[in-house]
């Protein structure tokens, strides 16, 4: 009797969430058929022509698509590598600080940019990298001619990576700092009695102690190789740098929604999510194997 | 021994320099923005402002006070955070609680779990979702910014794991006293997971406050834009000009101090809750990611 009541309560609790998931997650999945059609808005999904894999074939032919897939992966991989490194280095440096007040102050400051949106930070970045901005003024001291960072295919990408790392390294360091505090202080005492200097302690105690966390976070980052950061690029780029900065997500937005090529946009988006799922499932398996951790 | 301490001293100095450089890199650009907002326009356009205002003035804030579109957008953002918080928190709690039960205790848990995971992994994508929102006649309504993301699955999973960490004996004791699942959820589980609840709540607030993209897709009337979309539009004009010379020209004549003031004011609400949220999100991230 009691149990029946519990079951009913549980189902009832799930109901609203399920309704929203069905409407806004599952029904849109049917829209994927647009990728296999020559979708014309006036005719709707039922009235549009089936074209099979034509959209995908077209996608593979246009030079744009190779470019955007390459851009996506290159930008994302650099962001992951640089971001992880800087986060780890910051955590290690901060761990050496014994002044509590200073430690907390620095943490508060470096976590902050992560909570500001790219819509806001874009203005900050544009100020700094502008033609007459501080970076160019600084380069001027060394006799270097000002660079149009925002409009240069050579510089835009390094700038994307640099500013992304800048925004996220503090927040990313939280988990590494946590793993550092869980290392047994007795190990350091023993090591210093044995005459190990700070460098050796870092190398033989701290880094091995962090390794499981580093492996875990890197594994969980695997699905992000398709996630080069829509918000950032969308807010910073312009047609001059499409060649090096256009990624799958910005392309789908521009071609699909702005230019209203619904079928092509959906096809590109579909390919991205299929590869994305494979990556997430692999990361989950890999993490489970390496560290006993499961995302789900 | 003394060589050792000297080396250690030098190491300390290097560590402090690097740390200060990293910290300042985060602080200075933001201070610069604040300084620009308090400087006069001529100095700001000539890039003379560092982290202290040049010819300090409140004129940009004066101008901002009479910018009715800015305040309209500000209020839309406030409304969105309020409504979004209510909808998200309710659905998050109601969905995460049954999912946290074992399949033995809640028959059907597995089925629901699979549905939720599937929805997390796979989506129709931007364009099909847009069409559903359009078909429901939600375009141009504030609900188009709230309902499509009503169930934030990542947060549901975080909360579900927190519920799973609540000691079984608490629930058993309450069951013996004849409490219903609703009572157990409200009286026992929610108070116990309060830190996680605070974490997801703050993520929700920040998420709604910072989102500009939803309105860009779903809202046609510029006058109905929330704050971040309004701010984002300020830089769009500049972005879509491809001629570098024109770009510089426009940057010169645009009202940099006013734009800076807009950004400062739109960041203030976040800065006000940030100190309170810090201890929660730090523990939230650690609990949600390190342990199972």
pLDDT at residue A207 in the model: 92
Contact A119 B267 (CB under 8 A): no
Tell me: pLDDT of A195 over 90. Answer: no
Q: Do B33 and A134 touch (CB under 8 A)?
A: no
Q: Is B235 on the interface with A (CB under 8 A)?
A: yes
Q: Which residue of B has its CA nearest to A249?
A: B126
Q: Does A39 touch chain B (CB under 8 A)?
A: no
Distance from CA of A26 to the nearest CA of B (A): 7
**Domains of chain A: residue spans and CATH:** 53-291 (1.10.3720.10)
- Predicted confidence (pLDDT) at residue A292 exceeds the cutoff of 80: no
Report pLDDT for A198.
83
C-beta atoms of B132 and A265 within 8 A = no
Cβ contact B81:B209 at 8 Å: yes
Which residue in chain B is spatially nearest to A238 when comparing CA positions?
B239
Partners of A124 on chain B (C-beta within 8 Å) are 29-30, 32-33, 263
Please indicate whether, in this complex, the C-beta atoms of B115 and A21 are within 8 angstroms of each other.
yes
Phi, psi of A239 (to 5 degrees): -55, -25
A121's CB contacts (< 8 A; 6+ apart) are A113, A163, A167, A235
- List all residues 6 or more positions away from B4 whose beta carbon is below 8 Å from its beta carbon: A197
Residue B141: per-residue pLDDT: 94
Mean pLDDT of all residues belonging to chain B? 87
Lowest mean pLDDT among A122-126, B58-62, B263-267, B275-279: B275-279
What is the spatial distance between Cα A191 and Cα A189, in angstroms, rounded to a whole number?
A: 5
Q: Is B61 on the interface with A (CB under 8 A)?
A: no
Alpha-helical regions (H) of chain B: 2-37, 41-45, 59-65, 68-99, 109-121, 126-135, 153-164, 168-176, 181-183, 190-192, 194-210, 213-218, 227-239, 244-253, 256-289
pLDDT, mean of residues B80-90: 97
Query: Between chain A and chain B, how many beta carbons pairs sit less than 8 Å apart?
Result: 266
Residue A95 · residue A177 · CB < 8 Å: yes
- Three-point CA angle A97, A220, B100, nearest 5°: 100
Q: Per residue in A168-178, pLDDT tens?
A: 999 999 999 98
Q: How much is the average pLDDT of B153-159?
A: 91
- The Cα B210–Cα B75 span in angstroms is 14
Query: Averaged over B221-245, what is the pLDDT?
Result: 78
Among A2-16, A94-108, A169-183, B266-280, the least confident range: B266-280
In the beta sheet, which residues pair with residue A38? A49
Of A142-146, B142-146, B179-183, B254-258, the poorest mean pLDDT is in B254-258
Contacts (Cβ under 8 Å, ≥6 apart) of B278: A107, A108, A111
Task: Give me the pLDDT at residue B25, please.
Answer: 93
Is the pLDDT at B156 greater than 90, yes or no? yes
The pLDDT of residue B2: 63
The DSSP bridge partners found for residue A50 are: A37
Task: Determine whether the interchain pair B119/A26 forms a contact, defined as Cβ–Cβ distance below 8 Å.
Answer: yes
User: pLDDT-based confidence at B7, cuts 50/70/90?
Assistant: confident
Contacts of A11 in chain B (CB under 8 A): 98, 108
Task: Encode pLDDT of B29-80 as tens digits.
Answer: 999 999 999 988 877 877 777 888 888 888 889 889 998 999 999 999 999 9
Mean pLDDT across A81-85: 96
**Cβ <8 Å between A256 and B126:** yes
Whether the CB of A282 is below 8 Å from some CB of chain B: the reply is: no
Residue B292 has pLDDT above 60, yes or no: no
Q: Which of B94, B127, B182 sits opposite A269 (nearest CB)?
A: B127
Does pLDDT of B107 surpass 60? yes
Q: Which fold has domain B58-289?
A: MetI-like fold (1.10.3720)
Is the pLDDT at B290 greater than 50, yes or no? no
pLDDT at A56 over 50: yes
Over residues A247-264, the pLDDT tens digits come to 999 998 888 888 888 888
Distance in Å from the first CA to the final CA of chain A: 32
pLDDT at B217 exceeding the cut of 70: yes
- pLDDT band at residue A268 under the 50/70/90 scheme: confident
Residue B242 clears pLDDT 70, i.e. is over it: no
ipTM here: 0.87
Q: Residue A231: its chain B contacts at CB < 8 A? A: 213
Question: Picking from A72-81, A86-95, A205-214, which range would have the lowest pLDDT averaged per residue?
Answer: A205-214
**pLDDT value at residue B237:** 61
pLDDT at A47: 83
The residue with greater pLDDT, B2 or B31, is B31
Asked whether residue B291 carries a pLDDT value surpassing 50, the answer given is: no
Q: Helix, strand or coil for residue A50?
A: strand
DSSP type of residue A22:
I
pTM above 0.90, yes or no: no
Name residues 149-178 of chain B within 8 A of A (Cβ): 149-151, 156-157, 175
Q: pLDDT value at position A224?
A: 87
């Amino acid at each position: 009797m009691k149990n029946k009541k519990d079951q009913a309560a549980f189902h009832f609790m799930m109901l609203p969430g399920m309704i929203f998931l069905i409407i806004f997650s599952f029904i849109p999945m049917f829209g994927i058929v647009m990728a296999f059609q020559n979708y014309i808005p006036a005719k709707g999904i039922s009235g549009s022509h089936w074209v099979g894999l034509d959209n995908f074939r077209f996608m593979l032919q246009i030079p744009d698509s190779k470019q955007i897939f390459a851009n996506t992966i290159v930008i994302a991989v650099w962001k992951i590598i640089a971001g992880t490194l800087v986060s780890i280095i910051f955590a290690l440096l901060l761990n050496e600080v014994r002044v509590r007040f200073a430690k907390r102050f620095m943490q508060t400051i470096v976590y902050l940019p992560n909570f500001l949106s790219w819509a806001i930070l874009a203005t900050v970045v544009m100020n700094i990298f502008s033609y007459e901005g501080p970076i160019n003024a600084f380069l001027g001291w060394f006799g270097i001619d000002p660079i149009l960072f925002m409009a240069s295919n050579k510089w835009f990408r390094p700038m994307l990576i640099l500013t992304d790392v800048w925004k996220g390294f503090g927040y990313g360091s939280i988990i590494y700092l946590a793993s550092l505090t869980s290392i047994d202080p007795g190990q350091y005492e023993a090591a210093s009695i044995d005459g190990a200097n700070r460098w050796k302690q870092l190398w033989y105690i701290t880094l091995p102690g962090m390794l499981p966390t580093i492996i875990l976070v890197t594994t969980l980052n695997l699905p992000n190789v398709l996630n080069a950061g829509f918000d950032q690029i969308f807010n910073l780029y312009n047609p001059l740098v499409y060649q090096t900065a256009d990624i799958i997500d910005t392309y789908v937005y521009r071609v699909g929604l702005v230019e209203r090529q619904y079928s092509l946009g959906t096809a590109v988006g579909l390919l991205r999510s299929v590869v994305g799922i494979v990556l997430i499932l692999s990361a989950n398996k890999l993490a489970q194997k390496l560290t006993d951790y499961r995302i789900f | 021994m003394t060589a050792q301490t000297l080396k250690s001293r030098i190491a300390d100095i290097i560590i402090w320099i690097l740390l200060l450089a990293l910290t300042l890199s985060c602080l200075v650009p933001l201070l610069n923005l604040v300084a620009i907002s308090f400087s006069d326009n001529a100095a700001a356009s000539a890039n003379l402002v560092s982290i202290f205002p040049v010819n300090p003035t409140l004129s940009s804030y004066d101008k901002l006070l009479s910018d009715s579109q800015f305040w309209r957008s500000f209020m839309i953002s406030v409304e969105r955070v309020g409504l979004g918080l209510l909808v998200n928190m309710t659905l998050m709690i109601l969905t995460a609680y049954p999912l946290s039960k074992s399949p033995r205790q809640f028959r059907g848990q597995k089925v629901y779990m699979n549905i939720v995971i599937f929805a997390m992994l796979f989506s129709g994508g931007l364009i099909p979702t847009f069409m559903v929102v359009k078909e429901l006649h939600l375009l141009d309504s504030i609900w188009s910014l709230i309902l499509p993301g009503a169930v934030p699955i990542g947060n549901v999973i975080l909360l579900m794991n927190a519920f799973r960490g609540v000691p079984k004996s608490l629930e058993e004791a309450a069951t013996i006293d004849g409490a219903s699942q609703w009572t157990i959820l409200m009286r026992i589980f929610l108070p116990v997971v309060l830190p996680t609840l605070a974490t997801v709540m703050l993520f929700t607030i920040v998420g709604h406050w910072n989102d500009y993209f939803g309105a860009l897709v779903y809202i046609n009337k510029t006058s109905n834009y929330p704050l971040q979309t309004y701010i984002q539009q300020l830089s769009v004009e500049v972005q879509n000009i491809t001629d570098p010379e024109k770009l510089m020209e426009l940057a010169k004549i645009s009202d940099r101090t006013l734009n800076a003031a807009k950004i400062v004011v739109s960041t203030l609400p976040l800065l006000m809750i940030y100190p309170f949220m810090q201890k929660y999100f730090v523990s939230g991230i650690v609990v949600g990611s390190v342990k199972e």
